Each structure stands twice: as C-alpha cells, then as structure tokens.
A and B are shown apart, each in its own frame.
Chain A
Amino acid sequence: MRAESLKGHLDGLVLATLRDGPAHGYAVIEALKERSEGAFDLAEGTVYPVLHRLEAEGLLSSTWSAAAGRRRRVYRLTRRGRAVVAQRREEWRRFAHAVEAVWV
C-alpha cells in the first residue's frame, strides 16, 4: 500500500498498536506490518518521528528499559491517548461503513 494512502491515518494506527500494551518502536512497526498482513510496510525510519510527536502531544508516554544489554525506549498510551484511539476507531467505523454502502 502506498504511503500516501496512509496519510491522516498513521497516527490512529500507531496508537491502536499500543492499545494492547506498551511496546518499543520496532515492535510497533512490526505490529503494523503483521496486523495489516504486510499491507502497511512503511519506511521504518518515518514511524519514530510520529511516535515522538504523539508523545509531545501527550497521547503517549515513554520510559527507558533494558533488553539484551541495550537501552530501549518503550511507549505506552496515556489516558488521553486511549480516548483518542476509541474516538478514531469509531470515526473510522462510520466512515468505512458509509464508503462500503456506496460501493455496494
């Protein structure tokens, strides 16, 4: 899938991957790939700036942890982030339903 198709949706998708629990950047990108069955194979370096922005906007928080002797930044949803995920999900559901209805 082309990156432009994701424009406007990437924030919601990144937040949604963190709904099940905290994860580091690599795990977020892998979750996006896996859950989309390979459709969202993004330029990996571009997801990190989005994670940083979402944190700066207060939708994510992050802490350092250690794994295999390396430092790793782990992201988790804030309360506001959870609310935004729920809101975006509902908006998408309505949008997808409407589009589907037109196509059919």
Chain B
Amino acid sequence: MRDLHAELARVGIRGRLARRIEVELADHLACDPAAQLGQPRVIAERFAEELRLPTTRRTTFHAFAALALTALSLGVALRSTQITGGWPAVSATRGWLVSLGGLAIVFGVQVALVAGSLALWRVLRGTATDGDLRLVQRRVGLALAGGGVVLVGQAVQAAALQPLQPRWWILVALSALVVPALTLGGAAYELRGAVSITAAVPPAHRVFPRPLVLALGAGAVAVVCVGSAFAEHSWNEGLTRGAIEAVAFAGCFAALGRYVGIRR
C-alpha cells in the first residue's frame, strides 16, 4: 500500500482520490488476502490513463459553466448600473480606475470566450492523444484566467464607484462576484488535477486555416461595430469600437494564437 501511495503520487493522483483508491484496494485485499492486484506502478498508471480523458472533459464543461456564470454576473452589474441611471460622473483618478476595469473586462471576456469555445470545440470533436488533452487543458486554463480578469475588472470598477453609487448597488455588484469566483476557482482546482494525471507532452496544435481566422475576425469586428452603433446611436462610435476590436483581435491572435494551438 505504501508503494501504491508513492506510485499514485508519481502519476499525479493525490489527495482525496488517492485515499479513495487506497481504501478500495485495501478492502479488496481484506476480502481476499490472496488477491493478485498487480504491480502498484501498473495500477497507478492505469488509473491515470483511464481518468485523464473524462476528467479533462468534465473540467472543460465545468469551466464553461463557470464562465457562463461570470457572464451572468457581468450582466447583473451592467443592469444594476442602468437602474441607478447609468455611470456617474467621476473624477480623473476614479475615471482612470473605471476605464482600467472596463478594459480588463473587455479583454477578459474575449479571451475567455475564445479560449473556452476552442476548448469545448476540441472536446466535443473528440480528443485522441495526450497532446490533444494538453491542448484542451491549456485552452481551459486561459479561459479561466480570462474569466478571472473579468471579475477583477468588475471588482475594480465597484471599488472605484463605491462612494458615488447607492449602497445597494455596491452590495449587488460585489455579491454578484462571489458565485462566479467560487466556480472559477473550483474549475481551476479541477483543471490542476486533470493536468497532473496527463502525460507531460507538448500540446497538439490544430492550426486554423487563415481564411477561417480572417472570417472569424471580420465577424467579431462586424458584430462590435454594428452592435455599438445601434447601442450608442452613433456610427462614429460603432466604427471606433470596431477598429479597437480589430486591433484587439489581431493582437490576441498574434500573442495567444500559438499558445492556444491555432497558429504555428
């Protein structure tokens, strides 16, 4: 059993799961002291091999659910701001903090959405190798980081606006962060477990065809451009935001495309 404990730890199985396996196998030996369980190394490797795919799949779904809750919390924050009559007039310092929080939210939402969708896409299409699993895990990690950035952005904005908004607004804005923060944290913990039982191989890149990337970029820019133009009743504003989106999309593709395995 001591050997099994060490072998389980070697393949990345620790904590509650390791204890459960040890208890189950100890019970088996108690039922049949002459049982041939096999070599601890083989058993531990078999556990890791059997569990890495379902654990990664489950983590991806949980991460996506956590990101959906993050989006919901963002919606709650925006709606409650509308109810108070919109953004209050702020001083230069507070304005700077609110803008910084806003930038973090815009950046985090897009990174989380793209990385999370790519992870989900890969999982739903099927993952055959450890390299595929590594790629999914990397995308999930980035998506969760994006979600975390969104929550930090919301918290920064809430803190900056705290003296200028009604008390209920602060309570709503901050309490809306609790559930997504817990679920993102839970998914990150799960991801850590999935990563630890997956062989340390380089992620398998699935390079996206250039026309597809261009089409996705153009689509995102068009949505932001038209959406902003309608929301703000101004084509100038729409075009400005569309241009920012184009720069952000190109920048993220250049900076993170290789990391998430969609470009060489």
Residues of A within 8 A of B (CB): 24-26, 29, 43-46, 48-50, 52-53, 56-57, 67-68, 70-73
Q: B1-56: which have CB < 8 Å to A?
A: 20-21, 23-28, 30-32, 35-38, 42-43, 46-47, 49-51, 54-55
Q: Nearest chain A CB to B12's CB is how many angstroms away?
A: 14
For residue B58, CB closer than 8 A to chain A, the reply is yes
Q: Using Cβ atoms and an 8 Å threshold, which residues of chain A touch B51?
A: 49, 52-53, 56
State whether A49 touches B47 (Cβ < 8 A).
yes
State whether B27 touches A44 (Cβ < 8 A).
no
Chain A's closest residue to B54 (CB) is A56
State whether A56 touches B36 (Cβ < 8 A).
no
State whether B30 touches A45 (Cβ < 8 A).
no
State whether A26 touches B54 (Cβ < 8 A).
no
Q: How large is the interface on B (under 10, 10 to 19, 20 to 34, 35 or more residues)?
A: 20 to 34
State whether A56 touches B24 (Cβ < 8 A).
no
State whether A46 touches B38 (Cβ < 8 A).
yes
Which of B27, B37, B50, B54 interacts with A71 by CB under 8 Å? B27
State whether A26 touches B38 (Cβ < 8 A).
no
State whether A44 touches B30 (Cβ < 8 A).
no
A48-B46 Cα distance, complex, nearest whole Å = 9
Which of A43, A45, A56 interacts with B25 by CB under 8 Å? A45
Q: Using Cβ atoms and an 8 Å threshold, which residues of chain A touch B31?
A: 26
Which of A25, A46, A50, A52 interacts with B28 by CB under 8 Å? A25
Q: Using Cβ atoms and an 8 Å threshold, which residues of chain A touch B55?
A: 56
Q: Nearest chain B CB to A22's CB is how many angstroms away?
A: 14
Q: Using Cβ atoms and an 8 Å threshold, which residues of chain A touch B49?
A: 49
Q: Using Cβ atoms and an 8 Å threshold, which residues of chain A touch B37?
A: 43-45
A78-B154 Cα distance, complex, nearest whole Å = 40
Q: Using Cβ atoms and an 8 Å threshold, which residues of chain B touch A67?
A: 27
Given the interface pairs A43-B36, A46-B38, the reply to whether A70 lies near B50 with Cβ below 8 Å is no
Q: A45-B36, A56-B54 are in contact. List 12 more A-B contacts (CB 8 A).
A: A26-B35, A44-B35, A45-B42, A46-B38, A46-B43, A48-B21, A52-B47, A52-B51, A53-B54, A70-B26, A70-B27, A72-B24
Q: Using Cβ atoms and an 8 Å threshold, which residues of chain A touch B46?
A: 45-46, 49
A51-B251 Cα distance, complex, nearest whole Å = 46
Which of B36, B50, B54 interacts with A44 by CB under 8 Å? B36
